[in-house]
Structure 1
């Protein structure tokens, strides 16, 4: 049975993204206070994302409450990188002299991050497969 999705009114569409962005800001501020209060060795943005993930996975916060805002932020991400472009323009002499070293560090660190991510995904996938096999064995008994 397929449920019909009711279209949102224009008012809901216009207010949804700003409200979700405000929600993200509230998560960040809450996470910042938690980091300061508990003296956590993690940045507040990571703690906020973990908090948001936990609330979504525990079904306290419905996914559709954060979906439109996250899509908008991802679509506008280039605007958040403008300061990096300005820094490149301001330090062009540094890039001419040490640019190859900077690029080498960026390439190596990117390779390390991608490799670590692939390793973690592979391990989690194998773990999930073992759990599924155990569950199937128990159901077969």
Structure 2
């Protein structure tokens, strides 16, 4: 219920002030920030998230129906479609790995800088 309310509010914000950003994306960013800064207890979100993960198979049913319904298309262009799927998945994985690596480097640099700054204050 809370996740749906969160999404609905983010969707309203996007429609009103940020039409270029999808409401689901803004909602996830706001939810991440609220959890990160402990404005929202994890226990409030955990039950809904576990339910969605348990029912994740339902999200793939439309894709399976499309494969069955358009089997002639897949017989004609199946190899090209598979190539696009594989390449796009690889691109997403590479961009995600790059982003995680950059964030990790930034956090390590920040920790080292804070540690050095703390030593400099203590030696005075």
Q: Which runs of 5+ in 1 are unaligned?
A: 1-21
Identify which of 50, 55, 68 aligns with 2:29: 50
Structure-1-length-normalised TM-score: 0.81
Secondary structure (helix, strand or coil) at the match of 1:61 reads coil
Identify which of 74, 95, 108 aligns with 2:87: 108
Matched, 1:32 2:11: yes
Q: Which runs of 5+ in 2 are unaligned?
A: none
Show the 5 A alignment for 1:81-96: 81-96=60-75
Distance 1:55 1:127 in 2: 21
Between Structure 1 and Structure 2, how many residues are aligned?
A: 120
Distance 1:133 1:39 in 2: 37
Structure-2-length-normalised TM-score: 0.91
Distance 2:39 2:3 in 1: 15
Instruction: Name the Cα RMSD after superposition.
Output: 1.1
After the TM superposition, which segments of 4 or more aligned residues of structure 1 sit over 3 Å from their partners? none
1:36 CA displacement:
0.7
Which structure's relative contact order is higher, taking Cα pairs within 8 Å and 6+ residues apart?
1
